């Protein structure tokens, strides 16, 4: 507990102790009697005068005056005694109200509490006035504790920010602030230290904990040439890293900026509550005055009771439970998502995410890994090993993803001495001389050009044909590798309440149909250019659907921007993804999408619970107060108690809901 909270707790305990003493020990009566007995014209002296005075009427008048004086004295004593615990517990509230009034900021919670308690003192409800301030401060303490709890998620995220960097300069090690490290310098990261800036490993092998960035606890093995991102924790061995970005452009800075600025983009619920409070609070002050005047003029309740009911209405009607708990709920939801490697750029996107009923996905890099692999080898006249051997030799000098997948499938040493002249035929394939013979490796158009008697494969995918001269030797089928969790993620999306799942891809019909069937997608559109993807998305939006588009954040920026919610997959270190998307997933796990939707829906459910609960309780206590069935203590519960309960409920957003 912070020093400020400890001081508040001490004041609460001291004020409560004094109230208990004043309630059970008749200090007020003793002190009042003592002061009255010392005053000239006290009740005792008046009685003596009655016995000795020649005029009984004159003595009676003197006694009446003395009695009134004694009553006023005792009232002043009571006020002074109860002001002691009142000021102990409420001085900072009074100070805050006066400061805000000086700035022209009326009608906030502190102002309402000051009016209510001053009014209670004015009508002689001294204990109740002090108790109201005590309960209010107790509620504020609980509120502060609850808010701190909800901020722990963000605070833990802030811990990923490294405090220093060890730079190798002039043959030695120099410890500097990360912001002072320039691009291209080499930093040393020892075991247990955080990677300070994005870069590439120059030397050393180790395992990195990237949980703070991706939400995944499984360490990542890294070696020279591997990209590393700031905020990762080095686990095993020292690494030398060549920086590739300035500190302000590094991954950790981008993440922190996103989370810190997320509350600037408010949801409709937050905007409504803020606007509501702006007009609501002055209105209830006016209503409280009208209630007091109405009761005094049109009922036989009396002035004190009428004012009391107006004050009661004033206390219970304060909208602080809504004003505090609703933004806190969104803040907690964003914090919970960030701990799981899901960065939501604002409360408005969290609210939009909760309404999603249609999810549209790109294929390459989203449903698939974006890396090609050999699916099938269909030889003709020769065996499969010989076919893949010829194709791998021919493709060994190419950097095309299809060529690299063939070489990887070969998996053996490639004897470059067997390879002669190699010519790349744009848009068709490769002509290569192997062991003195001419071979052609490529697509169907290449086979047609050389006059080979080939046939297309019945399997979907990219087909690479192989021919020796015009003699057809067979073909190899290559497909983009499906992500292992794609089918399960689609099932989780449906379990999360998503009614329609659609795939948009530029790939051919056969490949699209196979991927859609394998992962369980409802509908797909194949052979699309980027502009065509936007058109398909706009058609879905015109159906009044709430659409989220999931892509890689680089090639799909137009569609990400157009969707109700744009979700970028595997965006660790990607500038384009962070700029284009509304929600950024820091790894390639499709399971984060339904998880993000569950977090959003849980957050909105809690927001609605707090709104309904707060309004219901306040209206109920207002009615009870109007009927004379509620006192100021219950009114404080309707304000502070409801606030604390709403905040504790809002803190539930920090717990990530299970599938």
Report, as residue numbers or ranges, the catalytic residues. Answer: 362
Indicate the SS3 state at residue 302.
coil
Whole-number Å distance between alpha carbons of 267 and 456: 54
Pair of tokens at residue 319: 């909208």
Half-sphere exposure of residue 544, counting CA atoms within 13 Å on the CB side?
0
DSSP class of residue 88? H
Pair of tokens at residue 29: 């009566």
Strand 471-482 relative to strand 462-468, pairing: antiparallel
* Cα distances (angstroms) measured from residue 559 to each of 446, 480, 530, 584: 35, 22, 8, 15
Whole-number Å distance between alpha carbons of 393 and 403: 10
Pair of tokens at residue 417: 């001495």
Backbone angles phi, psi at 470, to 5 degrees: -100, 0
Contact indicator for 206, 235 with CB cutoff of 8 Å: yes
Bridge partners for 419 per DSSP: 434
DSSP class of residue 363? I
Got the DSSP string for 459-509?
S-SEEEEEEETTEEEEEEEEEEEEPTTHHHHHHHHHHTT--EEEEE-SS-H
Question: Edge to edge, what strands does the sheet with 220-222 contain?
Answer: 220-222, 206-209, 233-234
Whole-number Å distance between alpha carbons of 185 and 243: 6
Indicate the SS3 state at residue 39.
coil
Got the DSSP string for 400-458?
-HHHHHHHHHH-S---GGGEEEEEEETTTEEEEEETTEEEEEE-HHHHHHHT------S
Q: How many other CB atoms sit within 10 Å of the CB of residue 537?
A: 23
Whole-number Å distance between alpha carbons of 637 and 315: 9
Indicate the SS3 state at residue 659.
coil
655: nearest Cα among 344, 337, 354: 337
């Amino acid at each position: 507990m912070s020093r400020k909270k400890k001081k508040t707790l001490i004041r609460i305990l001291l004020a409560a102790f004094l109230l208990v003493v004043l309630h059970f020990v008749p200090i007020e009566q003793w002190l009042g009697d003592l002061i009255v007995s010392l005053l000239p014209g006290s009740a005792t002296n008046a009685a003596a005068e009655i016995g000795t005075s020649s005029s009984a009427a004159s003595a009676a008048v003197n006694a009446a005056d003395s009695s009134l004086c004694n009553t006023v004295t005792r009232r002043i004593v009571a006020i002074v005694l109860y002001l002691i615990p009142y000021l102990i517990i409420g001085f900072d509230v009074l100070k805050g109200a006066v400061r805000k009034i000086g700035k022209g900021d009326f009608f906030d919670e502190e102002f309402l509490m000051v009016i209510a308690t001053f009014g209670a003192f004015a009508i002689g409800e001294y204990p109740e006035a002090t108790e109201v301030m005590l309960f209010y401060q107790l509620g504020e303490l609980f509120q502060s504790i609850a808010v701190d709890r909800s901020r722990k998620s963000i605070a833990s995220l802030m811990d990923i920010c490294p405090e220093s960097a060890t730079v190798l300069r002039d043959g030695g090690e120099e410890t500097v602030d990360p912001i002072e490290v320039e691009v291209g310098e080499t930093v040393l990261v020892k075991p247990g230290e955080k990677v300070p800036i994005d870069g590439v490993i120059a030397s050393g092998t180790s395992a990195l904990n990237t949980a703070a960035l991706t939400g995944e606890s499984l360490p990542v093995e890294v070696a020279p040439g591997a990209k590393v991102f700031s905020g990762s924790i080095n686990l095993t061995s020292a690494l030398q890293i060549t920086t590739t970005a300035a500190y302000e452009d590094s991954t950790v800075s981008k993440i922190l900026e996103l989370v810190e600025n997320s509350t600037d983009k408010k949801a409709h619920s937050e905007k409504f509550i803020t606007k509501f409070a702006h007009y609501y609070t002055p209105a209830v002050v006016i209503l409280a005055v009208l209630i007091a005047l109405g009761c005094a003029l049109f009922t036989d309740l009396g002035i004190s009771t009428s004012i009391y009911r107006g004050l009661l209405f004033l206390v219970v009607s304060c909208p602080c439970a809504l004003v505090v708990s609703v933004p806190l709920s969104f803040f907690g939801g964003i914090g919970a998502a960030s701990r799981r490697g899901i960065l939501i750029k604002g409360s408005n996107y969290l609210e939009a995410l909760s309404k999603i009923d249609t999810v549209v996905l790109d294929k390459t890099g989203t449903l698939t890994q974006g890396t090609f692999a050999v699916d099938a080898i269909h030889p003709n006249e020769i065996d499969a090993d010989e076919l893949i051997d010829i194709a791998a030799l021919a493709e060994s000098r190419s950097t095309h993803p299809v060529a690299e997948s063939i070489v990887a499938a070969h998996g053996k040493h490639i004897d470059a001495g067997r390879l002669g002249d190699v010519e790349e035929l744009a848009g068709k394939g490769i002509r290569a001389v192997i062991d003195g013979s001419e071979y052609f490796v490529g697509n169907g158009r290449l086979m047609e050009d050389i006059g080979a008697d080939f046939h297309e494969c019945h399997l979907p995918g990219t087909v690479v044909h192989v021919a020796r001269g015009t003699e057809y030797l067979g073909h190899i089928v290559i497909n983009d590798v499906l992500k292992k969790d794609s089918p399960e993620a689609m099932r989780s999306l449906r379990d999360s309440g998503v009614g329609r799942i659609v795939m948009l891809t530029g790939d051919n019909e056969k490949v699209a149909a196979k991927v859609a069937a394998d992962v369980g997608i409802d509908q797909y559109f194949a052979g699309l250019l980027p502009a065509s993807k936007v058109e398909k998305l706009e058609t879905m939006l015109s159906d009044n659907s709430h659409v989220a588009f999931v892509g890689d954040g680089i090639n799909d920026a137009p569609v990400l921007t157009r969707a109700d919610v744009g979700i970028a997959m595997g965006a660790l270190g990607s500038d384009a993804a962070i700029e284009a998307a509304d929600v950024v997933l820091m790894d390639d796990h499709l399971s984060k999408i339904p998880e993000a939707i569950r977090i959003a829906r849980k957050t909105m459910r809690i927001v609605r619970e707090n709104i309904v609960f707060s309004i219901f309780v306040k209206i109920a206590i207002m009615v009870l107060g109007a009927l004379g069935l509620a006192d100021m203590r219950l009114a404080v519960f309707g304000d502070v108690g409801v606030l604390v309960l709403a905040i504790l409920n809002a803190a539930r957003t920090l717990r990530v809901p299970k599938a």
